[in-house]
């Protein structure tokens, strides 16, 4: 499915407060941040865009689809309401092995497959962990 459509679908899924989906999105954001693909600064401003991008990868995993990039033009992305940063992020995902190219290109174009690293941590995020939640700044 096209990346912009996946992002729109992911935004709706995130808003629906599906706990498994949101856990997988958070894990994917952490994965992308640790690899240096997404920035960890100014997250209060850009965090929702990062969540939507990671959500698109999770939505592709849930729907058993590939991520498709048909246009790398910033103009097309902007017109369709997507962040113009997503091409750079997708290129980084291909470079760092989070997404793999089916056609041998070194950048994001055409059909992109989810890598074993990403699917491993999406499976990992589904596992229920019973841990106490400690809130630092909330008074009892």
Helix (H, G, I), strand (E, B) or coil at 71: coil
Pick one of 31, 86, 87, 90: the residue that binds another protein (CB under 8 A): 31
Kindly state the smallest distance separating residue 100's Cβ from another protein, in Å. 7
- In the block, tokens 């699917």 appear at 119
Q: 15 vs 136, which CB is nearer to another protein?
A: 136
34 interacts with another protein by CB under 8 A: yes
Q: Which long-range contacts (CB under 8 A, 24 or more apart) does 89-94 make?
A: 89/32, 89/37, 89/38, 89/53, 90/3, 92/35, 92/36, 92/37, 93/32, 93/37
Q: Quote the CA–CA distance of 1 and 65 in Å, as a whole number.
A: 6
Q: Using CB under 8 A, which of 75, 106, 134, 139 touches another protein?
A: 134
Residue 40 within binding range of another protein, rule CB under 8 A: yes
Task: List contacts with another protein (CB under 8 A).
Answer: 26-27, 30-31, 33-36, 40-41, 43, 96-98, 100, 115-117, 120-121, 124-125, 129, 131-138
């Amino acid at each position: 499915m096209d990346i912009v459509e996946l992002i729109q679908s992911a935004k709706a899924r995130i808003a629906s407060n599906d706990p498994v989906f949101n856990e997988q999105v958070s894990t994917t954001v952490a994965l992308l941040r640790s690899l240096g693909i997404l920035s960890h600064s100014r997250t209060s401003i850009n965090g929702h865009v990062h969540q939507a991008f990671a959500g698109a990868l999770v939505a592709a995993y849930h729907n058993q689809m590939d991520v498709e990039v048909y246009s790398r033009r910033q103009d097309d992305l902007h017109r369709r309401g997507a962040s113009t940063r997503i091409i750079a992020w997708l290129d980084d995902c291909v470079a760092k092995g989070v997404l793999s190219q089916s056609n041998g290109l070194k950048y994001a174009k055409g059909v992109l497959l989810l890598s074993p690293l990403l699917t491993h941590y999406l499976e990992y995020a589904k596992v229920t962990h019973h841990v106490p939640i400690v809130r630092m700044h909330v008074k009892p």
